[in-house]
Amino acid sequence: MSFAWPAGGPKALWNAAVGTGFSSLAIADGRVFTMGNEGDRDFVRCLDANTGKLIWKQGYDCPLDPNLFEGGPTSTPTVAGDRVYTISRLGQVHCLGAADGEILWSRDLAAGDELSSPGWGYAGSPVIHGKLVLLNVGESGMALDKATGETVWQSEPEEAGYSSPVVFQHAGRDLGVFSSGKYFSAVDLASGERVWSHRWLTRYGMNACDPLIDGDLIFITSGYGKGCALVKHAAEEPEELWKGKALRSQLTVPVKLGGFVYGIDGDENAREPSLKCVSFATGEEQWAEAGVGFGSLIAAGDKLIVLSAKGELITGQATAQGWKELGRAEVLKGKCWTPPALAEGRLYCRNAFGDVVCLDLRSPRS
Amino acid sequence: MKKHTRRSFIKTASAASLAFGATPLLAAKTDRKYRTALIGSGWWGMNILREALAAGRSTAVALADPSSDALEISAEEITDLSGDKPRTYQDYREMFAREKIDIAIVATPDHWHALTTIAALDAGAHVFVEKPTGHTVKESRAMVNAARRNGKVVQVGLHRRIGPHHVSGMEFLRSGKVGDIGMVRCFVNYGGGVEKPTPNSRIPKGMDWELYCGPSALRPFNRRIHPGGWRNFMDYGNGTIGDWGVHWLDQVLWWSEEKHPKRVFSTGGRPVRGEAVNDGQAQTSDAPDSQAATFEFEDFTCTWENRRFGGHNSEKHNVGCYFYGSNGTFHMGWRDGWTFYPNKRGAKEVHADPQFDNVKDGHNMTPLWADFISAIESGKDPVCEIEASHRSSVLPMLANLSLKIGRSVEWDGEKELIRHDPEANKLLRRQYRGSWEYPEA
């Protein structure tokens, strides 16, 4: 792949319109899956990865619900085998056939009014683990049977956080980390039993960044000035190894490369959000790059690909020593809070309006 | 943990001091730290408290907020920032009963400004209160009276009186270069469309919603109200004219040195956002999506206009004041600084860029806070002292009153009464809920 490009930026292979929202793009078997809202209906769309042409779309009633942001779905479809799993901000869960979008089962988790949905609705994407669909719903998650949608286990109806479940193994157990508005919890995935909860209170209940897990070490971060911490998993009470302010990530899931975490420090409307490098083991800030402001990022090998909130694509080499920018180009107009997706040398980006662009990052020679 | 130094605020404080004759902070006799409390520990209140801590003259001793989550988060942030360990209270009355407080920062929604400010003053504290002063006219006057009888300093958050480009812009206006100014148009315009109702939801754990609503109506909990949306609910705020308009109308009173309008008329509604909803299941905001107001002064006409639709692509500026004079038009803006557009053929525009302590926030809280401390220590009036700020706050209140009653009002500013209209006069105050008592002037 090539991370630098001539003026005008990387080549755009195709564009598509998918409706308002913040859903990222899942790519599988030559197809792209995403969500967006049009006319108070969520649509799950399947596009051809090569051409961007619509293969199918499936919709259901769901209000756009703009509330200090544009509204629309905030989670991403999950593809497993021949099925696609989605959750709306209201808690409507769907299992669709990947081939044609047929609804195989659906659950309306909000019906019955038991659940206390978080202020901006559910944002955690579904995670498939064995026979389970894991969802960040309730105080410490929920699991549905992926074949039928029936509830296998659930947690107290407190406000969930906005991150996606993250699975890890320890001492032969499969565990998942779920955020609520006030805690990060580890749950035994076989039983649904909560193993521990670590208090992490963030303004507005905005625990929105998926934790980064390495072995039994769990890196958490949140914004509104809160900060970051490294928590060591244990059978009962986790140990907080360190807590600091070097990375205060509001919406952006950071990435770990080697022993270092790279993320966006500072809220979207803060003084100077910047790309930062922080030691995973100690929380010490290594450097901050103000030239890369608020946005989302993914890692590609040892490079970082950042999509700025203004639609600028910025690539660079990031190490503990510093940041070396490789390429920069405007690829989308409008607000971009959704992380891009990279598959087979193609980068898929979307903005809040639902404009999607597929960029060719493959090197000319390949 | 960061150690806070006085950094650049000293420069701006000195600049402001030279402009207004207040004693420069550098000449302060002591290094005394003021026991500082914050009432309303949310986003904006914490911004002000952080400024106070950064200025180095405050110890954060207490926080008050109806939400125990907000208290916990804010207290932790303060401790991480400064080492202070503020005590937390859901009820500000308990706070004043237990704590000795030198400075209270009031950053609650508007409907709480009067009672908390008066309680703070009666408890012996100086007060920094956000704009507008109160929610209705008479309670705002009661705040002024409480400040006078207690002999305490009140600074109101109308920071555009100290912002550097506002100061230089005002000099330009007064220089005569704009000519004779006969009309001022103030405005803020946004894009937007229909507002769909948001379903009511469960009161978040730890939120004392009864206390949040306090002296105002107890609406079902709705996330459109909290966090962040109360300004557009007339029970708790005063709409865009109260939130934004007060800043720009204050600029007009500052420039003209007028105290009172003679007559006020306002009209508006929700033709685009749709009828307000509060039906027990769901709510929309109920502030107008468009409002126009006219304020008659002796020698000029002042208008206010705001829209939450239509945007401003057809105009250069989306917010501020246009002063129309015999030599041309002067625009006082926010992030666009100020600009003079001369009539004279071939004459060049004159422009000053905005200057902020930090570009992102676009505010002038640092010099405003420094001026507050300076006023406390020197005995001179702060730049946004309560009487003048009350008179500026009265403008949006009268506009909303005229809108509500459907006719213009003749204002007797000295008596603070509406002439020939007893029905209108009733709206200068309002009924507080339950056992809360409306503060009489």
B59 — pLDDT class (breaks 50, 70, 90): very high
Tell whether B333 and B375 lie within a shared domain.
Answer: no
CA distance B431 to B414: 24
Average model confidence (pLDDT) for chain B?
A: 92
Tell whether B48 and B83 lie within a shared domain.
Answer: yes
Whole-number pLDDT of residue A269: 83
Q: Give the total residue count for chain A.
A: 366
In-domain check, residue B431: no
Name the nearest CA neighbour of B157 among B91, B113, B211: B113
Helix (H, G, I), strand (E, B) or coil at B405: helix
Q: Chain A residue with minimal CA distance to B42?
A: A203
Whole-number pLDDT of residue A271: 76
Average pLDDT over residues B391-400: 98
Left, alpha or beta for A191 (phi > 0: left; psi -120 to 50: alpha)?
alpha
Whole-number pLDDT of residue B261: 98
Cβ-based contacts of A64 with chain B (< 8 Å) = 196
In-domain check, residue B432: no
Write down the ipTM of this complex.
Answer: 0.84
Residues A245, B201: C-beta atoms closer than 8 Å: no
Tell whether B28 and B80 lie within a shared domain.
Answer: yes
Contact criterion met (CB below 8 Å) for A92 and A60 = yes
φ, ψ of residue B100 to 5 degrees: the values are -95, 115
Residues A65, B72: C-beta atoms closer than 8 Å: no
Out of B73, B204, B228, name the one closest to residue A201 (CB): B73
Cβ-based contacts of B360 with chain A (< 8 Å) = 269-272
Tell me: the pLDDT tens digits for A74-118?
999 999 999 999 999 999 999 999 999 999 999 999 886 667 789
Task: Say how many CB pairs under 8 Å bridge A and B.
Answer: 42
Q: What is the DSSP string of B116-149?
A: HHHHHHHTT-EEEEPSSS-SSHHHHHHHHHHHHH
Tell whether B86 and B233 lie within a shared domain.
Answer: no
Q: Chain B residue with minimal CA distance to A121?
A: B223
Kindly give the residue spans of alpha helices, DSSP state H, lying in chain A: none
The C-alpha of A345 sits at a distance from chain B's nearest C-alpha, in angstroms, of: 36
Tell whether B45 and B108 lie within a shared domain.
Answer: yes
Left, alpha or beta for A316 (phi > 0: left; psi -120 to 50: alpha)?
beta
Average pLDDT over residues B106-114: 98
Average pLDDT over residues B138-161: 98
Tell whether B213 and B334 lie within a shared domain.
Answer: yes
The C-alpha of B374 sits at a distance from chain A's nearest C-alpha, in angstroms, of: 26
CA distance A204 to B69: 9
Tell whether B419 and B275 lie within a shared domain.
Answer: yes
Q: Which site among A68, A203, A274 would you substitute to test the B interface, given the most B Cβ atoms closer than 10 Å to its Cβ? A: A203
The C-alpha of B361 sits at a distance from chain A's nearest C-alpha, in angstroms, of: 7
CA distance B350 to B18: 24
Structural tokens at position B3: 């150690």
Residue corresponding to tokens 């990222």: A24
Tell me: the pLDDT tens digits for B183-221?
999 999 998 889 999 989 889 889 999 999 999 999 999
E strands, B383-436, where? 409-412, 417-418
Structural domain boundaries, residue B275: 164-361+389-426
Tell whether B236 and B130 lie within a shared domain.
Answer: no
B24 — pLDDT class (breaks 50, 70, 90): very low
Residue A107 burial (C-beta neighbours within 10 Å; 0-12, 13-18, 19+): buried
CA distance B391 to B394: 5
The C-alpha of A65 sits at a distance from chain B's nearest C-alpha, in angstroms, of: 8
Out of B76, B204, B360, name the one closest to residue A272 (CB): B360
Q: Which site among A204, A243, A271 would you substitute to test the B interface, given the most B Cβ atoms closer than 10 Å to its Cβ? A: A204
Q: Is the pLDDT of residue B77 over 90?
A: yes
Domain total in chain B: 2
In-domain check, residue B436: no
In-domain check, residue B83: yes
Average pLDDT over residues B266-279: 97
In-domain check, residue B437: no
The pairing of strands A166-170 and A151-154 is: unpaired
Cβ-based contacts of A119 with chain B (< 8 Å) = 223, 227
Out of A63, A65, A271, name the one closest to residue B360 (CB): A271
Residues B223, A203: C-beta atoms closer than 8 Å: no
Residues A202, B73: C-beta atoms closer than 8 Å: yes
Q: Is the pLDDT of residue B354 over 80?
A: yes
Whole-number pLDDT of residue B359: 62
Whole-number pLDDT of residue A236: 86
Residues B360, A269: C-beta atoms closer than 8 Å: yes
Out of B72, B198, B201, name the one closest to residue A201 (CB): B72
Report yes or no: B277 at the A interface, CB cutoff 8 Å. Answer: no
- Enumerate residues 6+ apart whose C-beta is below 8 A from A188: A173, A174, A175, A194, A195
Whole-number pLDDT of residue B358: 63
Kindly give the residue spans of alpha helices, DSSP state H, lying in A242-328: none
Tell whether B282 and B407 lie within a shared domain.
Answer: yes
Report yes or no: B94 at the A interface, CB cutoff 8 Å. Answer: no
φ, ψ of residue B115 to 5 degrees: the values are -60, -40
Q: Which site among B44, B47, B77, B224 would you substitute to test the A interface, given the most A Cβ atoms closer than 10 Å to its Cβ? A: B77
The C-alpha of B73 sits at a distance from chain A's nearest C-alpha, in angstroms, of: 6
Helix (H, G, I), strand (E, B) or coil at A97: strand
Tell me: the pLDDT tens digits for A230-262?
999 998 899 999 999 999 999 999 999 999 999
Residues B205, A158: C-beta atoms closer than 8 Å: yes
Contact criterion met (CB below 8 Å) for B398 and B261 = yes
Cβ-based contacts of A182 with chain B (< 8 Å) = 69
Whole-number pLDDT of residue A113: 65
How many CB atoms lie under 10 A from the CB of residue A362?
Answer: 14
Whole-number pLDDT of residue B4: 35
Q: Is the pLDDT of residue B142 over 80?
A: yes
In-domain check, residue B204: yes
Residues A270, B360: C-beta atoms closer than 8 Å: yes
% of residues, chain B, pLDDT over 90:
86
In-domain check, residue B249: yes
Residues facing residue A151 across a β-bridge: A144
Which range is least confidently modeled, B28-37, B89-98, B107-116, B184-193? B28-37
Whole-number pLDDT of residue B355: 82
Cβ-based contacts of A270 with chain B (< 8 Å) = 360
Q: What is the DSSP string of A10-53?
A: SEEEEEEE--BS----EEETTEEEEEEEETTEEEEEEEETTT--
Cβ-based contacts of A204 with chain B (< 8 Å) = 227
Cβ-based contacts of A40 with chain B (< 8 Å) = 196
The C-alpha of A80 sits at a distance from chain B's nearest C-alpha, in angstroms, of: 34
How many CB atoms lie under 10 A from the CB of residue B97?
Answer: 11
Out of A67, A225, A270, name the one closest to residue B223 (CB): A67
Cβ-based contacts of A118 with chain B (< 8 Å) = none
Report yes or no: B135 at the A interface, CB cutoff 8 Å. Answer: no
Report yes or no: B360 at the A interface, CB cutoff 8 Å. Answer: yes
Residues A119, B223: C-beta atoms closer than 8 Å: yes
Cβ-based contacts of B361 with chain A (< 8 Å) = 271
Q: Is the pLDDT of residue B352 over 80?
A: yes
CA distance A69 to B400: 28
Tell me: the pLDDT tens digits for B150-174?
999 999 999 999 999 999 999 999 9
Cβ-based contacts of B80 with chain A (< 8 Å) = 227, 245
Radius of gyration of chain A (CA): 19
Residues B73, A270: C-beta atoms closer than 8 Å: no
Left, alpha or beta for B177 (phi > 0: left; psi -120 to 50: alpha)?
alpha
% of residues, chain B, pLDDT over 70:
92
The C-alpha of B358 sits at a distance from chain A's nearest C-alpha, in angstroms, of: 7
The domain that holds B212 is classified in CATH as 3.30.360.10
What DSSP character marks residue A272? -
Q: What is the DSSP string of A232-245?
A: E--SSS-EEEEEES
The C-alpha of B223 sits at a distance from chain A's nearest C-alpha, in angstroms, of: 7
CA distance A30 to A100: 14
Residue corresponding to tokens 């293969």: A55
Cβ-based contacts of B69 with chain A (< 8 Å) = 181-182, 201, 205
Q: Is the pLDDT of residue B16 over 90?
A: no
- The rounded Cα A34 to chain-centroid distance in angstroms is 13
Report yes or no: B4 at the A interface, CB cutoff 8 Å. Answer: no
Question: Which residues in chain B (37-56) have CB-CB distances under 8 A to chain A?
Answer: 43
In-domain check, residue B439: no
3-state helix, strand, coil in chain B (%, to 5): 35, 20, 45
Contact criterion met (CB below 8 Å) for B215 and B433 = yes
- Enumerate residues 6+ apart whose C-beta is below 8 A from B419: B410, B411, B412
Average pLDDT over residues B399-428: 98
B81 — pLDDT class (breaks 50, 70, 90): very high
In order along its 366 residues, chain A shows pLDDT tens digits of 889 888 789 999 999 999 999 999 999 999 999 999 999 999 999 999 999 999 999 999 999 999 889 999 999 999 999 999 999 999 999 999 999 999 999 999 988 666 778 989 999 999 999 999 999 999 999 999 999 999 999 999 889 999 999 999 999 999 999 999 999 999 999 999 999 999 999 999 999 999 999 999 999 999 999 999 999 999 889 999 999 999 999 999 999 999 999 999 999 987 789 999 999 999 999 999 999 999 999 999 999 999 999 999 999 999 999 999 999 999 999 999 999 999 999 999 999 999 999 999 998 754
B7 — pLDDT class (breaks 50, 70, 90): very low
Average pLDDT over residues B115-126: 98
Tell whether B148 and B177 lie within a shared domain.
Answer: no
Cβ-based contacts of A224 with chain B (< 8 Å) = 73
Q: Is the pLDDT of residue B15 over 70?
A: no
CA distance A333 to A339: 15
Residue type, A45: R
The domain that holds B44 is classified in CATH as 3.40.50.720
Name the nearest CA neighbour of B354 among B372, B369, B339: B339
Residues B358, A271: C-beta atoms closer than 8 Å: yes
Average pLDDT over residues B172-184: 97
Helix (H, G, I), strand (E, B) or coil at B308: strand
Residues A40, B196: C-beta atoms closer than 8 Å: yes
Whole-number pLDDT of residue A114: 65
Tell whether B271 and B155 lie within a shared domain.
Answer: no
Tell whether B101 and B230 lie within a shared domain.
Answer: no
